[in-house]
Structure 1
Amino acid sequence: MDREYITSIVKKHIVNAIAGIDESNMDLQMSMTDYGASSLDIISVVSGAMRELKIKIPRTELKNIKNINGLIDMFVTSSAVE
């Protein structure tokens, strides 16, 4: 899977989980909490995207992610391994 495809999946799940976000002007350098996401919203985004991409990442690795770009990078790396 390429980065563009993974980015589109992550953006789709963010838009579905967090009210008031427009995918077209989403800043990937911001965190989901910067957009007003609760911890449950973040879990929904991460688990939904992982399920759709058919990848698994240990929760311990996810805690170090600082922004949306970091999440996408981790998904890209993980999808290359599987």
Structure 2
Amino acid sequence: MTENRNVAAVDGESAELAALRRCILAVVPAVPPEHIHPDRSLAQLGCNSIDRAEILVMAAGELAVATPVDGIHEDSDLDSLAALLRESR
């Protein structure tokens, strides 16, 4: 994993969104932390399909939940992905 930069959860951010934030920064360190918002998709952040899969598997592992596969689309925003992770608990 790369260096952890600005990985603290944003005020009021769920554990799932915080995990996604940390994993995005680890997998694609070129993404500026301030660009990571719940209404953005991983594709909008410049993540390719391999990055997206790695981020989801990594976040699910961090949260100790099953990796969600149903309901994931290229245009799924981070809030939707966080909800899928939450439902996997």
| Conserved 8 A contact 1:30-1:67 | yes
Stretch moving more, 29-38 or 54-63: 54-63
1:36 matched to 2:46? yes
Sequence identity (%):
14
Unaligned segments of structure 1, at least 5 residues? none
Which ranges of 4 or more aligned residues in structure 1 deviate by more than 4 Å? none
Following the alignment from structure 1 to structure 2, what is the Cα–Cα distance between the partners of residues 5 and 60? 20
Q: Structure 1's 62 and 53: CA in aligned 2 closer, same or farther, altered over 3 A?
A: same
Residue by residue over 1:53-82, the C-alpha shift from the partner in whole angstroms, topping out at 9 and shown as x without a partner, is: 111145233248621110001112222xxx
Question: Aligned AA for 2:63?
Answer: L
Deviation at 1:40, TM superposition (A): 0.5
Whole-angstrom distance in 2 between the partners of 1:39 and 1:66: 12
Matched residue SS, 1:6: helix
Q: Which residue of 1 aligns with 2:25?
A: 15
CA distance in 2, matches of 1:39, 1:4: 24
1:77 aligns with 2:62: no
Query: 1:58/1:66 Cα in 2 relative to 1: closer, same or farther (>3 Å)?
Result: closer
User: Structure 2: which amino acid aligns with 1:43?
Assistant: A
Q: Distance in 2 between matches of 1:15 and 1:39?
A: 16
When the two chains are superposed, the root-mean-square deviation of aligned CA atoms in Å is: 2.1
Counting matched residue pairs gives 77
Residue 38 of structure 1: how far off its partner (Å):
0.7
Deviates more, 1:63-72 or 1:38-47: 63-72
